[in-house]
Structure 1
Amino acid sequence: MTTSPDRPLVPSTLLDAIEPRTLDDWLARFATPEWRGRFIEGWLFEGAPERRAAERQLAAAGVRARLRSAYKPLVHWCIEEWPACSTGERPVTALVRYPVHPAASPRRFLLEAYPLAALVPDCEFIFEAGSSERHYEIDLVFPGGARQSHRVFAPNRVRPDVTGTPQLCPSGWLRAGTADGAGDLLDAAQDTEFECLFWCAVDAVRSHPWPRQEPYFERLDLRVDLPGYECRLDVGHECVSTYEAMHEDLYFGLLEFFQKHSGRPPGDRRLQPGQIVPDVRRAAPGTAPRVRVELRAFDTGAQDAAAWADTDADQPLEALGKAPSAARIALELDLLGGDAFVARSRQGRSIGWRYLHGSRFPVLVSGGQHANETSGVVGALRAGHALAAQPGAHFALLPLKNPDGYALHRELGAHHPCHMQHAARYTALGDDLEYREGAPLYEREAVEQALAVSGAQLHLNLHGYPAHEWTRPLTGYIPLGFDLWTIPKGFFLILRHHPGWDGRARELLERVAAELRNVPGLPEFNARQMALYERHAGPLTFEQIHGTAVTVSETPHGTPVTLITEFPDETVHGEAFRFAHGAQCAAVLAAERAWQDIMAGR
């Protein structure tokens, strides 16, 4: 593909701006004689150590202050303030009445309280919709019958999102008074640097004169340095991170802007704006919060050099604790043998795949369509080696369909290895390759070739989804269009079939789900995640077969039967990653075995 003159190949800066740090501004404002003896409550997007330090500085100036997190305020109250009010005892029961606001989903604040139901050991949580629009009301019962009641403010305001739709969003807030808890001097939402940096970046992109023809750029870099925080929770892989939240909001918010600019309908995955790359990091001590927005050309060499270091390159596949390099994937394909095929990505990277011809009914095994979902890549390679050892093996193996996104995942993961990195989800063109229709096909060509060469009527398409909560606090909290994927619900199966294939498809699903019960630890893993999901997101709307959540739909597209696996793998490492790709491999082998019987009429 050529790049037209209005898409610059040299860096072009759209924005380079700094914002004052909100915490510093508040200290300068309130640590003055006129505020001595007053009471200050503030909510902002900084971590507990920084807020406690600021409280001590204000106390030294004679101001009684309490600074709280504006992001997930009930969870932070539980971590930071609950111990102080519990007199050393843990409550045995907690009744939580969560806010309900007319501008948000009825369960919005119940989701924002996640994973509270699993955060406090030996405490039974009861959640009910409350009557307040911005307060959680908590009744605690302690051993021996003692009771306490608390109200926790959830600072939010309605503001338009990137495309102009009103959304209820967490916000900075200040309350000042002449008595503790009073707001007689001040009680209002405040712009914080977290919010301002985001909207500065968005406004710079929205005001740029973009061409009408896609793609609009090669790479749109958004570097943000902010005084945020990460708070790991003792529940699964949960971590409250303002850096990750900013990444998600920038990436998906700008996708939504470019969808509107293009005239496409919301959520159209054929959109090809180019590669949107938010890189959000902690600001260095003493430096101002900063945002830079630049248009850049692709530089695969520099990108690959910036990737995380490969520390387990000599490990066997089943022992890999993180996603392997592209070189390791190519090596495994060489070891597999069979007929070799190669397609090319938008950035010119190789998309290698193998075809082994035999007497069995053929299947296509693929991974890495969404390149930040990496357990499927290893699961596909492991399954490929196991299938190749069978007499009559007949399959095509395409373990990494989106190498450009995969390279971006490894680049961003060098700084935030446990983040979801959704900017790496789609291709370097910015689209979902499954939905690509027009030439040049690039990554899509590999899929089409593999189906044509193999003749497979079953496609085993290995995917993943977030292993911890996925939020967009700057544009409404719940990710637009992905409300069913916000928190983990175990290993999940999606089955699609052509008209007339429903019987065979259903039998495949039943048999795979039955075999997955034999994966050590998987039934318990699924049950645990689904139970916590239902506490905060409501009853599962999906069918369950043998303890696995599934969904089935009829479509004329793709192979007659497509089985999509969804393991919560974004982004896990170590033993959790090994568990993930082990489950992916088991699903492939179970499906291939079942397919032989189904197609033979056995």
Structure 2
Amino acid sequence: ADPDSADPDSADPDSEDPDDDATAEDDEPSSDPLAYPGLGSVEVRISGGPTIRLEGRAEPDRPGPISGRPGSGAKDELDLSSVYTTDGLLGGGPIPDRIDIKLVPGNAGVDGLPELAGRLGLESTGLIIPLVEPASSVERASSQPTMVLAGTENQLTDQLADSGLIDVEALGAGEGLIQFVPEAFGSKPSFVITGADEIGAERALEQVAITFPNLSERGKDRPTVDDVEKELWDVLAGYAPIGQAAIGLYKLDRIGEVLADSSVTAARVLMSVEKADPGLAQLVRNRAVIALGISDIEVTIDDRDVQRAEVIFEEHITLPSEVDSFWQLFRSQVLPEAPGQTIRVEARLSEPPALRTAMEDEAGRMLIDAGASPDTEVRILSAFKQGFSWLEEVVAPRLDGLEVGEIVIRFRRNDPPEDWPQQAIHTPLRWLHEIFPIDEVLARDLGLELDQVRFEQVREGPTYTVQVTDASGAPFLTSTFEPKWVLRPYFDRFQDYEHVRVTTGWLNATAGGETIVDERIVTDPEAFWDHYQSTVLPAVYDHVMDLHDGLPQGGSTDAPFFGELTVEMSMSEPDYRLGIDNEIHAPMDALHEEIFFGTVEFFDVLGRNSRGQGLTFPGRIIPIMRPKQDGSAATVDISVTGFATSRPAVVVTYQDAAGDSGQVRLDIPKTSLERPSARMAKVQAGVAGLTHLGLRVRIDTDADVRDSLLTFGTPRQVDRSMVSAEQIVAVMHEVEGLRAAGLYVSALAFDGLGSIEVWAEWTHEQDADSRRTGTLAANGTPAPLPEWRALLPNDWSYSGDRVVQWDTPIPPPEGHEMLAKLGDAFSEASVYKVGESYLGKDLWAMDLQPAITATHWSHAKATTFKPTVVYSARQHANEVSSTSHVLRHAELLLTDPEQRKKLDKVNVVIHPFTNADGAQLAYDLYNITPDYILHAGYLGSLGQDATSGGNGDHPIYPESTVRGRLWSTWLPDVFLNPHGYPSHQVVQLFSEYTGLVRRGRVTERNWGFNKGWFMPGFGYVDSPEYPRHKDAAFEIRDYITRGINSNRDVFDLNQRSYARYERYGAQFDPDVFRLPMTDSVMIQMPLKGSTGGGGGGGGGYNPRITIWSGTTEAPDETAYGPYMELVAKAGLSWDQAILDYLYEAEHEVKRSGSRFFGGVSIKMNRPRPAETEEEEDEEEEIIS
């Protein structure tokens, strides 16, 4: 087709249409290769081979107006980091389907231009023709699309050089230049690829066409220009350790200027920075000697690394023993009354059953030896789950061997206590939950059917009443019971926040029917909690409030507020499995939960109480529980580490010649500096990578005028929002000096990168006349490149044995080793580093697809030709089974031929650890208490979700960005986020008993016991803009339920758990404990779908790309052994069901094309979700 045959008067050839081809003349898409309307033919010239000409599908021109070239607007966001993105040379939607530039070569140095053109075509799913126009034929450069000016002897490049926008004259022989030039021709920028000579220009073309976005070595985990921009941003904005050290030195000089006239004779310098280099103290001292002009200087480096922070509170205590309290009361008040009396003793102690039995026997013998009647009786019930203990240890033995028709257990509804009627934290079913799962225990132990034990809720009367009938229905046993409890503040420090009832220990004794003692015995858990509330949390509170002058800033800006809070406790408590699924009795499990969630909640209340904003990311909270069985006193080791200042800062405390003292403090602020933009790079023939990189950063002022700005804002406001060019240049100088001194040598050092310059400009548009330039010599030492093969054991080779075990939870080192083994054994598996955690652990991912041998391939093409699914596990890292089942899923895709063939039609991405820090902590604690829930590993390292802040400029958790980057890299059809929850009842002894209580949200108590495998939310898009999404989501749901129900043991667990959840929740409180079922699987469906604005399936992903995203809940906290295999099997069924949905759908790539004045645009697209046969038939009818 001849595009120039159109009437030139029918369109403005200079019109700009930066949008998609909405106004272009589109034909209906076709699935036939090369069936692009407007494309006459394709000619392929093979070096050393034939020329092949393939006919297209040219059609006669249609009458009417013709639009201008699509995507011809100015590409103002283009820089060296965004070349192959829609901000750069490409255009269209999230999946690039357009090339928005024109290649404009000069007369020489352009032999590599075909590689650049080919790379553009590779990275996009669309192409605009003509793509190339020689510089000599370009007229009205300002009316052209953004131009890539390539090679030498290029008249347009010469114009830019003549106007001073680029400097070619400064280049040496064989040196190439790559530069983004804003407003090169009118409002249009240009991208220049040139050199001092043809060799240099060719080298620059090679860098852009072959290597970009990487600096040197290609690969997903190899350094990119974007990495340089991001790290430089962190440094200059005060977020990176070397940046804080460099800014600290700059601020120390400023303090020296302030004290220049003060006759300082001695000084103490405190510098508080994150992850301080060991050599920083000496360097600071040397600088302080110069800045202050004295030698009597003491330097302290306050390291804000949570793992290296200084101890601010530490103690080892032995708690008062409840066993000792019992014996003291018994000996002093009960034993003296024994002679000639019938003694009745009932005590309640939080001790193991065997110990309580032994104490009963010993106390009984002592009473008899003291002269008590042989009818004397001693009973010691458990203070933990008192009603359960009564039913199991008192009622059940009376029924042993009897014919029981029915056992009815009545519990009183739990309303707020009279002394605190406004209580919000209560749950109406507390007393029922305190006897969970007594019905199954009684049925098992008494040989009854489960339906012979039932519950009734009453509003008045005793807390518990049990009535037992015989086979005829006649009652033969009725008994009542009252738990012992006390009311205490939820937080001692915030007495008016909330009050809670806490079950407590007790001793009641009668002699001849007369009460001789009726006193509370503080249990060991209560003794600990009283101390924690009265001593530990107030000490932390005082530390935080003192550092922050009573107004700590919420969010993550000043976080964390302490380093590590570690509680290691040895306590004699019940700690055993019940033999009912994964249920346990373990008060120390409850203490772990209370310490973790209670401390997180404490900081939330602290922040809201002080300035209205909760303090998120408080710090590391590590409860280590060591249960024992001997009744001895509990011992507790508590350590809290923290920081010397509220935020990074330099503080100089001094004495002057007159003997007076003073202090000057300047913060090392984390600023709102804009992101640097890579604008210019130099390369050298024969040298890999970039020899030099120039980046622009917009700042606020030329000189540092902080003091004058304090008239208009507080010091903190000024420090955070106003950055000067003077400071930027100084910081770059300090970074160079730090590295030259051997400190932070790997910071801002990258393989394939030489020197750096930073253009600090105080104008909105790039302007060399409003600029100071900071430089950084190439004096760093890059950290070793990530190497996944280093994860392999020595001398390992694949022998066909199973790689992924389902016996124990998988910690990050083991899981990543499994990735490496699969990557080593199978060519379909590609392993790469995808990020790091807050504590510095490497995070890895793996792509599964048929082996690729090409040097370059395109994610955009890969995810267009085939659907893609991402499995991203272990966000909440004590939910252990997700890593196990996604890794096993990967292994089966590589080893099972029936599964392997699915990789031919679906791309699979495996990301086994989102929260590696939590996963490691949970595993370490599992090795101590394997049956506990271990919520200390649930969130990220600082008591906040590991994904929090991932969309921010400088997220405190580096791992929070990983999922977003996986999504933007692969643009998947489906994104999966499998989760878990406790495998047994959750107890929080000091939060009205039933878990979970987090941030005051008590409705989450419906997660408080095992309710089988379920989906907590099934979001879907229901919008005319996405007409097939709803049906696709419901089809996915059908695949899921079939997969889950295909496992008999999983099905049985589910039905057992759902029935239990009904009996202990939904039957009495259906508003909170809901049981929405779909095909015998609990799936919590929304009332209606979303419009797609929040992302496909509620996951926050663009529904144009991701049609559905889902999460699961498996009862896997903490699973191991056969139970791990059971819950992992459920997860694997889910994994495979969703893959099967994608595999079995009829995905088809559609090709379309359109004409514009002077050319054609062609593109390919795969409808998401896949179209049904009926839809395809309708489309064919429209076409015909």
Instruction: Provide the C-alpha distance between the structure 2 equivalents of 1:379 and 1:218, rounded to a whole number of angstroms.
Output: 34
Q: Give SS of 1:552's match.
A: coil
**Stretch deviating more after TM superposition (49-58 or 570-579):** 49-58
- Unpaired runs of at least 5, structure 2: 1-240, 242-273, 276-300, 417-425, 553-557, 643-797, 824-828, 850-861, 895-899, 1024-1028, 1068-1072, 1146-1167, 1173-1184
Tell me whether 1:372 sits opposite 2:878 in the alignment: yes
Deviations 1:360-403 (A, max 9, x none): 21111011111111110011112223446221331321111111
AA of the residue aligned to 1:192: T
1:72 offset after TM fit, Å?
Answer: 1.3
Instruction: Provide the C-alpha distance between the structure 1 equivalents of 2:834 and 2:804, rounded to a whole number of angstroms.
Output: 25
Q: Give SS of 1:215's match.
A: coil
Q: TM-score, normalised by structure 1?
A: 0.90
1:279 offset after TM fit, Å?
Answer: 0.9
Match runs of 1:190-589 below 5 Å: 190-203=521-534, 204-208=536-540, 209-210=543-544, 211=547, 212=552, 213-263=558-608, 271-283=616-628, 285=630, 287-296=632-641, 316-317=802-803, 319-334=805-820, 335-336=822-823, 337-338=829-830, 340-356=832-848, 358=862, 359-387=865-893, 389=900, 390=902, 391-437=904-950, 438=952, 439-440=954-955, 441-479=957-995, 480=997, 481=1001, 482-493=1004-1015, 494-497=1017-1020, 500=1023, 501-539=1029-1067, 540-553=1073-1086, 554=1090, 555-556=1094-1095, 558-559=1100-1101, 560=1103, 561-589=1108-1136
Kept in 2, the 8 Å contact 1:39–1:65? The answer is yes
Deviations 1:403-462 (A, max 9, x none): 111111111111111111011101112211233243234111221111111101421111
Kept in 2, the 8 Å contact 1:387–1:393? The answer is no
Give the 3 Å change call, closer, same or farther, for CA 134–46 of structure 1 in structure 2. Answer: farther
Deviations 1:164-222 (A, max 9, x none): 31222222223233345x6x444454422220112212331233212533112232101
Paired residue for 1:176, among 503, 509, 519? 509
1:347 offset after TM fit, Å?
Answer: 0.7
Q: Give SS of 1:475's match.
A: coil
Aligned to 1:301: none
1:528 offset after TM fit, Å?
Answer: 1.0
Kept in 1, the 8 Å contact 2:509–2:518? The answer is yes
1:40 offset after TM fit, Å?
Answer: 2.7
1:575 offset after TM fit, Å?
Answer: 1.5
1:142 offset after TM fit, Å?
Answer: 3.9
Tell me whether 1:137 sits opposite 2:465 in the alignment: yes
Give the 3 Å change call, closer, same or farther, for CA 316–206 of structure 1 in structure 2. Answer: farther
Give the 3 Å change call, closer, same or farther, for CA 445–492 of structure 1 in structure 2. Answer: same
Instruction: Provide the C-alpha distance between the structure 1 equivalents of 2:527 and 2:1132, rounded to a whole number of angstroms.
Output: 45
**Stretch deviating more after TM superposition (373-382 or 158-167):** 158-167
Give the 3 Å change call, closer, same or farther, for CA 84–551 of structure 1 in structure 2. Answer: closer
AA of the residue aligned to 1:558: G
Instruction: Provide the C-alpha distance between the structure 1 equivalents of 2:575 and 2:628, rounded to a whole number of angstroms.
Output: 13
AA of the residue aligned to 2:873: G
Instruction: Provide the C-alpha distance between the structure 1 equivalents of 2:568 and 2:462, rounded to a whole number of angstroms.
Output: 33
AA of the residue aligned to 1:460: L
1:286 offset after TM fit, Å?
Answer: 7.4
1:558 offset after TM fit, Å?
Answer: 2.3
Instruction: Provide the C-alpha distance between the structure 1 equivalents of 2:805 and 2:470, rounded to a whole number of angstroms.
Output: 46
Kept in 2, the 8 Å contact 1:21–1:227? The answer is no
Instruction: Provide the C-alpha distance between the structure 2 equivalents of 1:45 and 1:321, rounded to a whole number of angstroms.
Output: 32
1:536 offset after TM fit, Å?
Answer: 0.9
Instruction: Provide the C-alpha distance between the structure 1 equivalents of 2:1137 and 2:537, rounded to a whole number of angstroms.
Output: 47
Paired residue for 1:153, among 473, 478, 482? 482
Instruction: Provide the C-alpha distance between the structure 2 equivalents of 1:578 and 1:115, rounded to a whole number of angstroms.
Output: 23
Deviations 1:237-281 (A, max 9, x none): 11110111111111111111011123399xx99921122111121
Instruction: Provide the C-alpha distance between the structure 2 equivalents of 1:206 and 1:538, rounded to a whole number of angstroms.
Output: 40
Instruction: Provide the C-alpha distance between the structure 2 equivalents of 1:135 and 1:284, rounded to a whole number of angstroms.
Output: 30
Paired residue for 1:44, among 337, 349, 368? 349
> Which structure is richer in relative contact order (CA contacts within 8 A, separation 6 or more)?
1
Aligned to 1:308: none
Tell me whether 1:591 sits opposite 2:1138 in the alignment: yes
Give the 3 Å change call, closer, same or farther, for CA 524–274 of structure 1 in structure 2. Answer: same
Give the 3 Å change call, closer, same or farther, for CA 91–14 of structure 1 in structure 2. Answer: farther
Instruction: Provide the C-alpha distance between the structure 2 equivalents of 1:469 and 1:254, rounded to a whole number of angstroms.
Output: 21
AA of the residue aligned to 2:579: D
Instruction: Provide the C-alpha distance between the structure 2 equivalents of 1:496 and 1:264, rounded to a whole number of angstroms.
Output: 35
Aligned to 2:498: 165
Kept in 1, the 8 Å contact 2:337–2:511? The answer is no
Q: Which has the larger radius of gyration?
A: 2
Deviations 1:291-327 (A, max 9, x none): 2220259xxxxxxxxxxxxxxx997256521122423
Identity of aligned residues (%): 21
Aligned to 2:397: 84
**Stretch deviating more after TM superposition (86-95 or 342-351):** 86-95
**Stretch deviating more after TM superposition (5-14 or 571-580):** 5-14
Deviations 1:512-543 (A, max 9, x none): 12332212322222111100111111245142
**Stretch deviating more after TM superposition (26-35 or 103-112):** 26-35
Give the 3 Å change call, closer, same or farther, for CA 207–9 of structure 1 in structure 2. Answer: closer
Aligned to 1:66: 379
Query: How big is the alpha-carbon RMSD for the aligned residues of Structure 1 and Structure 2?
Result: 2.8
AA of the residue aligned to 1:42: A
Kept in 1, the 8 Å contact 2:319–2:528? The answer is yes
Instruction: Provide the C-alpha distance between the structure 1 equivalents of 2:603 and 2:968, rounded to a whole number of angstroms.
Output: 34
Q: Give SS of 1:448's match.
A: helix
Aligned to 2:228: none
1:502 offset after TM fit, Å?
Answer: 4.0
Equivalenced residue count is 584
Give the 3 Å change call, closer, same or farther, for CA 520–39 of structure 1 in structure 2. Answer: closer
Q: Give SS of 1:77's match.
A: helix
Q: Give SS of 1:338's match.
A: strand
1:159 offset after TM fit, Å?
Answer: 2.1
Instruction: Provide the C-alpha distance between the structure 2 equivalents of 1:131 and 1:187, rounded to a whole number of angstroms.
Output: 27
1:138 offset after TM fit, Å?
Answer: 0.3
Instruction: Provide the C-alpha distance between the structure 1 equivalents of 2:321 and 2:585, rounded to a whole number of angstroms.
Output: 20
Give the 3 Å change call, closer, same or farther, for CA 51–448 of structure 1 in structure 2. Answer: same
Q: Give SS of 2:867's match.
A: coil
1:341 offset after TM fit, Å?
Answer: 3.1
Q: TM-score, normalised by structure 2?
A: 0.47
